[in-house]
């Protein structure tokens, strides 16, 4: 990993460790992540069960706490530092730096236990508010981008509808006359191509509207939590730092979504691809926001869901069919339906991820999570180059 890289992520929040050495460790880890150009999501993907004594991977929420100094130990810091770099020499130097920081005696304080407990609670509330404010901002950004995509797709659908009508009218006029048969055939092919593009645009519009609504619901939930925490801080006579209220604006310097509305078929196809990319980026924002707003929601954690599927398939299935369930669970439930009905028998290969993205109108990440859930439950198996097959 390049030492000269710059981290492309949100600004770090304040350090909230209960000791100076914990905050120093967290500060060092943040510096190394910045040097490597890594985000917290990149760090999460680089960690493996072997990094931890109990072989349990931390949640995204836990990583944010550790990088703020909360609950951070020397062994945990060494695991995170090791995941920051592929270089053994770099990792060794960083582990030595961690041990040097950890060897510094921890500062001890004095005062009434109640005062210390109140101060710790205020620090915890402020940290939670910081995470929720970021989740609110991410949700609003995802909502606004999805709405822009939906508006562009509405215009695109009008164009494709008009184009299909025009081509059909011209083809029928030619077919009724002396008729250039070759041109009739060409127009028929063009009508089919535009119709296919129209169907793709409809699917993308449905996905954009769904992402917009999900983002708004998550933003509302974050705003309510922020409001409650603001009231709690006020009770402690501590001023909050301008949190957003219900639906209040969040000022962020974000790259504006710029989408052209071309009339040419090829340009329109490129625009469709770009809009899918924007929606994929929105999926990433919403997943990060959900980690902050609902860090302990075991009902939708993939590892918990997989265990429930193995232990009680009917209970899991009922939850997955609920309109409030995550999209990956709905996709997994649909695939489970087909396996149970015999559409896919033992050893049969499931459709490609690209085909499932088009069918279910979801992102590739959602399909991957659905397949991972089924694989963790022992229903399917995936192999590089061999696709996914029913067990």
pLDDT digits over 211-242, tens only?
888 888 888 888 888 888 887 777 765 443 44
In this predicted structure, what is the pLDDT of residue 105? 61
Tell me, yes or no, whether 345 lies in a domain. yes
Are 136 and 87 contained in the same domain? no
Tell me, yes or no, whether 73 lies in a domain. yes
- 8-state DSSP, 361: T
Tell me, yes or no, whether 137 lies in a domain. yes
Are 316 and 376 contained in the same domain? yes
Q: Which residue has the higher pLDDT, 104 or 161?
A: 161
Are 205 and 165 contained in the same domain? yes
Are 133 and 235 contained in the same domain? yes
Please write the tens of the pLDDT for every residue from 305-325. 555 555 555 555 666 665 556
How many domains is the chain built from?
3
Are 141 and 239 contained in the same domain? yes
What's 307's domain CATH number? 1.10.10.10
Which of 199-208, 322-331, 360-369 has maximum average pLDDT?
199-208
| 3-state SS, residue 333 | helix
Are 286 and 145 contained in the same domain? yes
Q: Which residue has the higher pLDDT, 111 or 380?
A: 380
CA 178 to chain centre: 58
Are 274 and 314 contained in the same domain? no
304 is in which domain, residue-wise? Answer: 298-390
Q: Angle formed by the axes of helices 302-311 and 364-376, to 10°?
A: 40
Are 75 and 136 contained in the same domain? no
In this predicted structure, what is the pLDDT of residue 252? 36
CA distances, 261 to each of 164, 208, 265, 277 (Å): 17, 16, 11, 16
pTM assigned to the model = 0.47
Distance, first Cα to last Cα, the chain: 38
Are 333 and 311 contained in the same domain? yes
Are 130 and 30 contained in the same domain? no
């Amino acid at each position: 990993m390049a030492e000269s890289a710059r981290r492309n992520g949100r600004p770090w929040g304040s350090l909230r460790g209960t000791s100076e050495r914990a905050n120093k460790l967290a500060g060092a880890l943040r510096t190394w992540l910045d040097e490597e150009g890594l985000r917290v999501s990149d760090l999460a993907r680089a960690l493996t069960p072997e990094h931890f004594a109990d072989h349990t991977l931390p949640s995204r929420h836990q990583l944010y706490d550790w990088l703020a100094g909360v609950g951070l130990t020397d062994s945990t810091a060494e695991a995170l530092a090791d995941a920051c770099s592929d270089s053994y020499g770099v990792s060794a130097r960083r582990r030595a730096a961690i041990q040097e920081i950890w060897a510094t005696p921890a500062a001890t304080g004095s005062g009434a236990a109640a005062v210390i407990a109140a101060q710790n609670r205020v620090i915890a509330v402020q940290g939670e508010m910081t995470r929720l404010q970021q989740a609110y901002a991410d949700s609003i950004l995802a909502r606004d981008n999805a709405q822009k995509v939906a508006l562009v797709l509405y215009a695109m659908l009008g164009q494709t509808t008009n184009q299909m009508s025009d081509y059909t009218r011209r083809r029928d006029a030619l077919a009724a006359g002396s008729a250039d048969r070759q041109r009739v055939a060409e127009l028929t092919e063009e009508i089919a191509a535009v119709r296919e593009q129209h169907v793709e645009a409809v699917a993308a519009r449905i996905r954009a509207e769904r992402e917009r609504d999900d983002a708004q619901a998550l933003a509302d939930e974050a705003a309510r939590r922020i409001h409650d925490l603001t009231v709690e801080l006020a009770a402690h006579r501590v001023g909050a730092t301008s949190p957003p209220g219900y639906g209040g604006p969040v000022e962020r310097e974000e790259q504006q979504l710029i989408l052209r509305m071309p009339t040419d078929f090829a340009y329109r196809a490129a625009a469709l691809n770009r809009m899918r990319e924007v929606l994929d980026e929105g999926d990433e924002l919403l997943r990060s926001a959900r980690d902050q707003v609902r860090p302990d929601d075991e009902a939708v954690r993939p590892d918990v869901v997989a265990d429930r599927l193995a232990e009680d398939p009917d209970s899991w299935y009922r939850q997955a069919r609920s309109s409030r369930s995550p999209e990956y669970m709905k996709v997994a439930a649909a695939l489970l339906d087909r396996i149970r009905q015999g559409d896919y028998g033992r050893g049969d290969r499931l459709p490609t991820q690209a085909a499932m993205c088009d069918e279910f109108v979801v992102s590739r990440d959602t399909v991957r999570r659905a397949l991972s859930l089924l694989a963790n439950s022992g229903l399917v198996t995936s192999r590089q180059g061999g696709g996914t097959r029913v067990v």
